[in-house]
Amino acid sequence: MHAQREEAAPEASQEPSAPAHPYPRITSVVRARHSALSGGQQDTWDRRWPELGRDARDANGAPAGLIDTATWFGRSAPVILEIGCGAGISTRAMAAAEPHLDVIAVEVYRKGLAQLLGAADREGLTNIRFIRGDGVDVLEHMVAPGSLTGVRVFFPDPWPKARHHKRRLLQPTTVALIADRLKPGGVLHAATDHAGYAEQIAEVGDGEALLARVDQDRVSRDELPISSRRPETKFEAKGRHAGSAITELIWERRS
């Protein structure tokens, strides 16, 4: 269920240090060893990535610049950023159900992005774009303040050992950055199957002054600008069968 653990065992990151910035870097992911694409995936990657995909950093480690979403998507539409899309099961289903929204899927692993890219290509989904890299890099350098209608973070790695909690993505500094990038009325939707991480996310989100928790009645009435209805993945179904509770947490950017 955790996108960061879908590939080979991790090794230490070789990424260059980020430049100084007001949001201290959280090492939420580590680079995995190379996982080769299949022939079909590589063909699709070569054909579609130059148009639909970008890297958060260039070959020298310099961060990419701000995205002009209207130019990239070829239209002006509300934009959702999904951090840690994995193989994109939720991404493709939700993008198909919301064709009026544009989705930027962020993932560190090329294999997962290739699977989602291939699915989008086969199914003719024109409202998904792809970024390979760290979500904090993307938020800080590629997304303008007040530009997003939604941010989705589904099943981020819980880093369950206490000494690794500092690597969790949804820390106060990152949530503050997300809140800054949301438009007034924009939505942060997080989901986790780890009870301890759920408690931390809830505390951090509720402690962010720019965010207000959305009550379940409003969610049920579909009063939000983006849907909160996720498809259940096979990993999530396995977790439910094993007794893992899923916690959904939704906040709205204050006006």
Q: What is the pLDDT of residues 6-17, one digit of tens each?
A: 333 333 333 333
Q: Say how many domains are in the chain.
A: 1
93 pLDDT above the threshold of 50: yes
Note whether residue 20 is domain-resident: no
Q: Residue 34: pLDDT band by 50, 70, 90 thresholds?
A: low
Is 147 a domain residue?
A: yes
What's the average model confidence in pLDDT over 232-251?
85
Contact status, residue 231 vs residue 92, Cβ threshold 8 Å: no
Residue given tokens 């792809």 in the structure block: 130
Q: Which of 137, 157, 180, 193 is catalytic?
A: 157
- Residue 224 falls inside a structural domain: yes
In the predicted structure, residue 1 carries a pLDDT above the cut 70 = no
Q: Domain containing 224: what range?
A: 36-253
In a domain, 29, yes or no: no
Q: What is the pLDDT of residue 238?
A: 80
- Tell me how far apart the alpha carbons of residues 126 and 128 are, in angstroms, rounded to a whole number: 6
Based on C-alpha coordinates, what's the Rg of the chain? 17
Query: Rounded mean pLDDT of 134-139?
Result: 97
Q: Cβ(23)–Cβ(142) under 8 Å?
A: no
The answer to the question of residue 193 being in a domain is: yes
User: What is the reported pLDDT for 243?
Assistant: 78
* Known catalytic membership, residue 222: no
3-state helix, strand and coil shares in percent for the chain, rounded to the nearest 5: 35, 20, 45
- pTM for the model: 0.86
Answer yes or no: is 31 within a domain. no
Is 78 part of a structural domain of the chain? yes
The CATH number linked to 126 is: 3.40.50.150
Closest CA to 41 of 109, 104, 96, 114: 114
pLDDT per position as a tens digit, 173-215? 999 999 999 999 999 999 999 999 999 999 999 999 999 999 9
In a domain, 187, yes or no: yes
Mean of the per-residue pLDDT values for the chain?
88
Q: Are strands 247-253 and 182-192 parallel, antiparallel or unpaired?
A: antiparallel
